[in-house]
Amino acid sequence: MQSVAIISDIHGNLQALEAVLADIKRQDIDRIYCLGDLVGKGPNPVEVMDQIMSSCDIVVRGNWDELVVRITDDINFSWHADKLGKARLEQLEKLPFSYDFIMSGRHIRLLHASPQSVYHRVQPWDDKEKRIGMFEFTPSLTDPLHPCQEPDVVIYGDIHNAYLQHLRGKTLANCGSVGNPLDMTQASYMIVQGSLGHVEVEEFTIQFRRVPYEIEQAVRAAEATDMPGLKPYVRELRTGVYRGLQQTED
């Protein structure tokens, strides 16, 4: 039996990442896979990206990872790009769109948002057919194990909301967000356990983990910078409520 930790959506929150990596170490995990959005929103893109690239066995590309490379005339993206520098931006640009692997006879696909694109958002309450669409193959996927076979399990990030559903005999799961959770204020990640690389059906488990971290320390780290979007970012950390749903007086 091997264990794989699946993390996503760190968004430059170094304090949350360090807490999750410490928890992963305590669980005696064999591998760490990251589903993107290393950067954006939070104040520590450099430290977070360097830690992810050194700690994770697999890293796929998120929408923010793509946006900070592509958009140069919007401070919400360029602030992070300027911190990262040319070499790290080139690393982000080269991240794969997806990653497939076999565990205990299950074909598992990892994505940031959906098979359509890193910007195509799928929520747990969306129409069933839209959620079923998460198992479709599209040519944009990089190096799938079985081009003509739909995956049995899809795990993704993007929505910052951890959940698991069974749909027509398949499993759709979201690992939540490490650095910007929007379902509660504790960092979220997932552990899958089974026989890695085995095509025979064997024991397989999915476990969600919630990790408390020093939110006020993360707030102070953000307040010590001139980062854009400071107020909505801090409110999201403290409340777990998406900025578009926040009621504010300013």
Structural domain for 30, as ranges = 2-124+136-241
Cα angle, residue 55 at apex, residues 184 and 108 outer, rounded to 5°: 70
Residue 141 has pLDDT above 70, yes or no: no
Total domains in the chain come to 1
* pLDDT tens-digit readout, 198-211: 999 999 999 999 99
Within a domain: residue 129?
Answer: no
Contacts of 185 (CB under 8 A, 6+ apart): 215, 237, 238, 239, 240
Q: Do the domain assignments include residue 43? A: yes
Would 161 be classed as within a structural domain? yes
Buried b (16+ CB within 10 A) or exposed e, 152-170: bbbbbbbbbbbeeeeeeeb
Q: Per-residue pLDDT tens for 43-100? A: 999 999 999 999 999 999 999 999 999 999 999 999 999 999 999 999 999 999 999 9
- Position 245 pLDDT exceeds 90: no
Domain with 25 in it: what CATH number? 3.60.21.10
- Mean pLDDT (the chain) is 94
* 246, part of any domain: no
Mean pLDDT, to the nearest integer, of 26-50?
A: 97
Task: For residue 130, tell me if it sits in a domain.
Answer: no
Domain assignment present for residue 53? The answer is yes
Task: Tell me the average pLDDT across 18-46.
Answer: 97
Q: Is pLDDT above 90 for 102?
A: yes
Q: What would the 3-class secondary structure string for 70-115 be?
A: HCCCCHHHHHHHHHHHHHHHHHHHCCCCEEEEEECCEEEEEECCCC
